[in-house]
Amino acid sequence: MAEALAIVGIVANIAQLIQFGSSVLSRLEEYQSKFGNIPDTFPHIKIELPVLLDALGQTKSAMGAGSIRNESEQALLPAIDGCRAQIRLLDDVIAKVMPGTSSSRLRKSANALRSLRYDVKVERITLVIRGYIQTLTYHAVISTGLSVERTIHRPTPSSTVPFRRDPRFIDRQELAEIERRSRLPASRLALVGLGGVGKSQLAVECSYRLRESSPNTWVFWIHASSTARFREGYQKIAERTQIPGWDQPDVDKLKLVHTWLCDEANGCWLMIIDNADDAEVFMGVTADVTGSQDECPADRAFTLLNYIPQSANGSILFTSRSRDVAFRLTESYDDITKVGPMDQAHALLLLQSQFNGISAKTGVEDDEKFQEDAMALVEALDCMPLAISQAAAYISQRAPRATVSSYLQGLRKGGRGRGKLLQMDLGDTRRDGTASNSIIATWQISFEHIRKERRSATQLLSLMCLFNRQGIPEVLLEGRYHDENDRDADFEDDLAILREYSLIATDTSGCDLQMHRLVQFSTMTWLDLQGELEGWKEKFVTVLEAAFPDPNELSQTSQTLFPHAQAAIACRPTSTGPLLTWASLLRKAQEYSLLIGSYQAAENMGRYALEVRETTLGAEHSDTLESISSIAVVLLSNSKWKRAERMLRRAIKGREGVFGLEESTTLKDIGRLGNALTRLGRFQEAEVTLRQVLEAQQKVPGPEHRDTLLTIGDLGLLLCRMGKNEEAEVNLRRALRGQERLLGSRHPDTLHSMNRLGSLLYKHRKLDEAETILRRGLEGSLVRLGDGHPSTMICAGNLAVVLVDQAKYEEAEPLHRQVLDVLTKTLGEEHPDTIVSYGNVGFVLHRRGFFQEAEVIFRQTLARGEKMLGKKHPATLFSMHNLAICLKSLALDQEAYLLMEQCFQMRNKVLGHFHPDTKDSHEALDRWTEGRCYNVAHEET
């Protein structure tokens, strides 16, 4: 009888508590209905309080039905008293903070500010109430336990990880720290990175290591790509742990498992929540304890986040593509570990481990070549584990026809061939069965997530992917990627989302952006599939063309934008307007490429622009003719004189028909033709051409115009080549004075004239003045053009020749070798300027008495000159002359005499009997006849 009365007393006590709690909740609801919201202090408690009242109600019902044992009822009394105390504390805070419905606006504002002081107190109340909810819920669940037998069988701890351990797992430096932190009590740690970067594989390995070292620890795996799969994971936990009620259809498994996990009596556990990418999965409303979502009132709503425990006996490891979602789940950026691509060494180990004994190289490949290709392959795949594994699977499946080398070639071809390789899905039993193993498909999931969440962010990514993947200036993005009427677009917000998903990154300054090459390619592939790529190409070209300056100067802007202009070559639009814009962009980039000495790139860009303009505008349009001339200038600079001559004659013919021969651009092209003829050794024709142009330019545009000064300098070079050194010096000094006055001492035109004058002064044996002016030119070139520019190196080479004649060998020889090394890399070993530089190394060796080394170089120089320039070219004859001198120094008198005789005869025919070079060969023959020696000569560049 006493027990029954006690039960009635407890039930009545709970009923009063529920009534009191409901009145407190009503105050919050009444205020919200009238004013639309409640102070920021209370939203969380407003969610937790209905849950507490529900748990109390279930406890009351269970006691009334006699489902709870007497011992349990007594054990619950402190919890019920605690609930009452917390609700009273909450009532007190509400009375102090919540303004009355008749309060003034000022009073309400003051109360709102006061509420901030109670944030911590209310949060503490919320946490305590949450603990009581867990206790009451657990007793309510087991009270329905449908079994009179109260002895609960506890199964042995095990793992629900659905993947076998990878026997070829490549350890990563992040793993040790992940292991350590995931074992801390009540820890939450999130691994964040791109899809396919290896987050899940790290989590799987971590789980196996934990089970090895701690067999009594449970490990649970939850796939969080959807609410349904999350629920499925909890169902598996309930089944594996044999929680009472796990097999009852009317029992809420989320609440059941949550309560079990919070009970420290059940031991330690690690929960891995994989693919936690979508915030809506965790924050979206799910069903309440007993009903469906549709039946659940708003104030009784639950989210999956409510069912992720925070108990001290467990820890949680998330994997996510989104840093923002990871932060919401861990509530701390300190608990987020960024997982990036592997370093090259580990990526190479991963590739090699995947072949499983199958040869991935051709029979003719040596190990060194295979290693080079393997390193190049992992670099081309951005060291992304998923991409590397799929590449290895492809190669293994098709061996021996497929090799690392052939796969790499397929990637380098780009376009659809690369897309086909990266879209292949060859399966991986250690990845979720519903997830694609194609790296492109994997990332397209992220793109779709972002498009759903914030469309303008995908527009930003769409524009970015067409730039060079590194050093993307944000000034070319902000305000240029979204529709004008898109009011929701915000650059910083869009940028933040792309960074949260690890699709882009910023440099140390935070102003320039970058992305992985595979992300870039995958984005373009995705846009192509959406039918949107063409439109973004047009936008990209338009934005870049407007920003690219006319590169008459080597500006920082041009330098920054040039790599992106190179990327634009692959973004040729199809519509006429954007196509002409594309041609204009390439024409600007061509000019900059010429200024920095990147001649082949300049020629390619010029030809692309010419093809568009000629097809679209016609052969005689001024823009078309301008493109023809620009290509000729590049060819001249790159010592491709015959091709330059053809292009110039074509341009002159077109300009003559449209503008006439006296027009300034026509005259400029005729002057360039004279320079080409000079370089080809056709001196008489060149002299007539240049003097006619100079006579016309003296009138228009005038004697001090830049074009006129260029022609004067070209005439000076020609006269020097013809042996008319006095007149040449007059013209070169006049050109240099005018250019220094008009353009400054560091303009490329001025620096070019310094180099020419210094070389001429050397021929006049004015060595000190030659050294001075060449040092000035070299200093200016280093500052203006850089140490890798061909013009800088040519000036350095001419200075080194002067130093040799001054017997300054210690400075001269290293300088000659440096010049040769740079020109070989930038222009190629068969370029005329490189050939001259090679001969100059022989020149200094001969002067220092190393005749045998010099002979080898002179023979190679002569062979290259005959191949590239022809046997009768003046430069080839220079090499022949020097080789003969060297042979004489080696006492190979007969070969030396015959070679010098041949050189004299050809010089006499090509240059004339009175040319200084012809005289040099003739004098050498005379001296040898008289038994005297003779020095090698230096060729002017």
Mean pLDDT for back-to-back runs of 10 residues, the chain (941 residues)? 51 75 76 64 70 74 67 72 79 71 46 52 71 67 48 79 91 92 92 92 95 95 93 94 86 91 91 93 64 39 84 94 93 93 93 69 63 90 88 83 85 72 62 61 84 91 96 92 71 91 81 88 90 96 95 82 96 97 97 94 98 97 97 96 97 92 93 96 96 96 96 97 94 98 95 97 94 98 94 96 95 96 94 94 94 96 94 93 95 94 95 91 90 58 56
CB under 8 A, 24+ apart: contacts of 838-842: 838/864, 839/878, 839/879, 839/882, 839/939, 840/797, 840/800, 840/801, 840/816, 840/938, 840/939, 841/813, 841/816, 841/817, 842/882, 842/886, 842/936
Greatest pairwise CA separation for the chain in angstroms = 146
Q: How far apart are CA 377 and CA 395, in angstroms?
A: 12
* Concatenated DSSP letters of 539-553: HHHHHHHHHS--TTS
Please check whether residue 279 is in contact with residue 325, taking contact to mean a CB–CB distance below 8 angstroms: yes
Q: How far apart are CA 613 and CA 19, in angstroms?
A: 84
Q: Give me the pLDDT at residue 337, please.
A: 95
* HEC assignment per residue over 841-872: HHHHHHHCCCHHHHHHHHHHHHHHHHHHCCCC
Q: Dihedral sign for Cα 596, 597, 601, 607, please.
A: positive
Q: Give me the pLDDT at residue 147, please.
A: 38
Q: Give me the pLDDT at residue 294, please.
A: 39
Q: Which tokens belong to 494? A: 């869009």
CB under 8 A, 24+ apart: contacts of 118-122: 118/41, 118/93, 119/40, 119/41, 121/89, 121/93, 122/41, 122/42, 122/44, 122/45, 122/90, 122/93
Q: Give me the pLDDT at residue 34, please.
A: 64
Q: Give me the pLDDT at residue 149, please.
A: 40
